[in-house]
A and B are shown apart, each in its own frame.
Chain A
C-alpha cells in the first residue's frame, strides 16, 4: 500500500484487523489467502480473518479455504437440513475434511428473500447482521446469483434459531431445490424514469402466490421469476428467468424537442447522428434540419438505446404494459436458452390485469409440473415439445411476435392449414 493510500483512521478501514483474539483456536497458516489481502479492492479475506478473531468456526473455515487453494479442490458436500415446516431454503454444507477442520464441519447457508429492488434501511441491515452474528458465522452475501440474501455458515441446530428470530421480524426463506425460486426485480419505478411497470407489485404478486411451491420443493426443477422495468433488462431476465416480465410501452416515445435541440447544441450533430440516429436497430430515427428528432414509432422495437443516450429528451411512451418471455436458462442440459416471447404486450393496471398475469403463471407452472421431465427446466421442455404444443397447453394463441422468422423447412404436415388460417381471421375480426 502506497503512503497516500494509507488509511487516516486505520480502525475504520476495510484493511483493519482487530488485535484482540476472542476465538480460542489458533489460526491456520494461510500463505495463499494472505496474498489476497493486498490491492485496492476491499478484501474478503481480511473480512474472514476479522471473523476468525471472533469465532472458531471461521478459524477452521479459513483453514479449509486455504486447503482448497493449495490443492485446487472443493471440500463441501450437500445433505439435508431444513427448518420446521419447510422442505427447502437451506443449502446444507458438510465438510469432507472435517477431521482437519472440525469447527466448520457444518457450514450451512440460509437463503432469505430480499424485498424487490433490494432496499434496506441501515437499521434493518444491522439487525440482520446482529442476528446472524448471534446464530451463525456473521458472514452475509448481498446477494446470491438467484437474488437471495445468503447467510453463510452455521450449524444444523442454529439454522432453526436464526430463522425463528428473523422470521419474526418479517423475513422468509427463499427457494432451493426443484421449486419456485426467489425472484428478482430492478430498482424500477422507485428511482428509474425508464420503468414501465410496477416491478415491486408484480414481483410480490408472482412469488408470494407460489410460496407453497417455494417452501416445499416438488416441481421438475427450479423455476425463476424476474422483473425488469424496461427492455434494458437490468435483471438479465430473458436469459436467466423461466418467467421474464419486462416493462414496455405501445404508443409513441415521448420526445421533448426543446431538450433534443439542447442535446444537439451541446454534443454536436455528428455525435447525435453517430451515436443515436445510426444506432437505432430499425432505422426509426432521423435528425431533422431544424435539429429536432423524427421517430418512426411504428418501427421502433423499444430497444431503449436512444432513450439511454438522451435521458432528458426522450422517454418511454405513456401506454405502458409488459412483455412476457418464457424459458430462459443457463447451460444445463441442452445448452443455453433465451426466453421466448409468449405475450407481446399486456396492460397491468387493474386488479383483473394482475389476476390475468397471476393465473397465466399458475397455468404455466401447472403445465410444466405435469409435462416436464425430472430436472428439465421449462425452456427445455418447450424445446423438446415445440413452442406450439406449449402454447396450446397453456391456452395462448400464436402470434408472429413470437418468432424471428417463419419456418424455412418444408418438412411439415400442413393438412389443417385452412382451419388454422380461419382461426387467425376470426381473431383479427374479434379484435376489430
Chain B
C-alpha cells in the first residue's frame, strides 16, 4: 500500500487535440478548402476559399526513427519549412509551408540528407507494414527488412508519378495480416501444421480458448505423455497459425515451411468500384532474408504488367476486373493452380456462373 501511494495516478487525457500542433493556415482554413493540384511528384498544393494556399512536401522515411533521424528531419523542417509536420497512414512525413518558393529548397534539403520526396498521386507509395522480427511475438518473417529491400527496388516509382493510379503495397508477418488490404500484399503463409511442445501446453495455454480459436475445429484436448495437452487433426488443419498466439507451445513458424504468398487487387477506396479484398496470385515463395529476392521479383512482375496494360485511374483491382483473371495470369506469367479456387465460406460467389469468357 505504501508502495502504491507513491505511484503517480495517470491523467486519462485520451486522444490529444490536434489544433495545438497544426499549421496556422490549416487552423485558419479548417473545413474551408477549395481545391488541390500536384505541381510535381511529392508535392501537393491546396487552395482555400479564403484564397490562402498551402504546399505540402511528402517525404519517405524508414518509419522507425531514432533521435538522430528525428532531429535531422526536424532541423530541415525548421530551417526550410515552418516547423509543422504530419504523418500519412503509410508513414510518410508531410511538411506544410505557406510559400511556394519554400518548396524547392525543402525538397533539396531532404534529398541531400538521403530522404526521398514522392509518394503522391499515381506512384508506388511507402509500404504499410508491421513489426516482424524486430518486435512482434508471432512473426513468420521480418517487416522493416522486407520493406527496405522492396523500396530500394521501387525507389524510382516512389519519386515519380508514372503508374496508372496509386499503388498501395502492404506486408504482413503472419496470417492475421495486420498490414491490411493492398493493391499488392506480401503475406506470410504457413504450409505445415503447428509443432506442439506437449510439456509446456498445460502450464502456458488456456486449453478451451485455444480449441475455440481454430477456424476449422481441428484442435481437441488430449492427454499426451500423461499430461493434459492439445492435439491437432493435421488433415483438417489449414496451417493458419491462429492457435499460436494464445498457445506459444503450438509453434507454427518454421524457417523452411513458413512461406510467403502474394495477393493482388485489394482496394479500400470507394472510387469507381466498391472496396475490394485482395486475391491470392502466388504462393510457396521462400522467406529469404535479408532481401527476399523471389518475392520482390513477383511484385515487380505484377507492377510491370499493371503499368503497361492498365488505363489511367485504374487501380490494380480495377484493371484485373476489366481484363479478367485469365489475362492477368497470362500477362504476369504466374502459374494458375487449384489453390487459386476458393473453398472457404462464400466461395461459390467467386466462381464464374456465366459464359463471359475472353479469348
Residues of A within 8 A of B (CB): 7-9, 12-16, 18, 32-33, 35-36, 38-45, 47-48, 50-51, 65, 68-69, 71-78, 83-86, 91, 93, 107, 109, 113-126, 129-130, 133, 138-145, 147, 150, 152-153, 160, 163-164, 167-168, 170-173, 182-184, 186-187, 189-193, 195, 198, 200, 203-204, 207-208, 211-212, 214-215, 231-240, 274-275, 279-281, 301-305, 308-309, 311-312, 315, 330-336, 338, 373-375
Contact = CB atoms under 8 A, between A and B. Distances in A.
Tell me whether chain B's interface is mostly helix, strand or loop, or mixed.
loop
B284 interface: no
Given A39-B152, A129-B70, A142 B16 contact: no
A32 B289 contact: yes
A140 B65 contact: yes
Nearest to A108: B135
Contacts of A164: 8
Nearest to A163: B10
Contacts of B85: 119-122, 125
A404 to B, nearest CB: 9
Contact of B91 (A33, A142, A183, A235): A142
A122 B78 contact: yes
B311 to A, nearest CB: 7
Contacts of B215: 332-335
A42 B213 contact: no
B69 interface: yes
Interface stretch (B17-25, B219-227, B298-306, B326-334): B17-25
Contacts of B93: 142
B149 interface: yes
Contacts of B13: 167, 170-172
Most B Cβ at <10 Å: residue of A48, A142, A338, A375: A142
B137 A198 contact: no
Contacts of B275: 233, 238-239, 338
B248 A274 contact: no
A190 B94 CA distance: 13
B335 interface: no
6 contacts: A18-B68, A38-B152, A139-B65, A193-B46, A312-B35, A335-B344
B36 to A, nearest CB: 6
Given A42-B61, A279-B272, 14 more contacts: A32-B290, A48-B64, A65-B142, A114-B87, A118-B88, A129-B67, A145-B180, A167-B11, A170-B13, A171-B13, A172-B11, A191-B26, A236-B180, A308-B271
Given A68-B142, A236-B181, A145 B128 contact: yes
* Cβ-closest 4 pairs across A and B: A39-B152, A14-B114, A115-B18, A72-B255
Nearest to B313: A275
Interface in B91-137: 91, 93-94, 96, 112-116, 128, 130-137
B56 interface: yes
A123 B83 contact: yes
Contacts of B71: 126, 129
Nearest to B59: A42
B113 A14 contact: yes
A192 B37 CA distance: 11
A302 B274 CA distance: 11
B63 A43 contact: no
Most A Cβ at <10 Å: residue of B27, B114, B141, B248: B114
A120 B273 contact: no
Contact of B271 (A117, A168, A232): A232
A182 B72 CA distance: 28
Most B Cβ at <10 Å: residue of A36, A184, A200: A36
A113 B152 contact: no
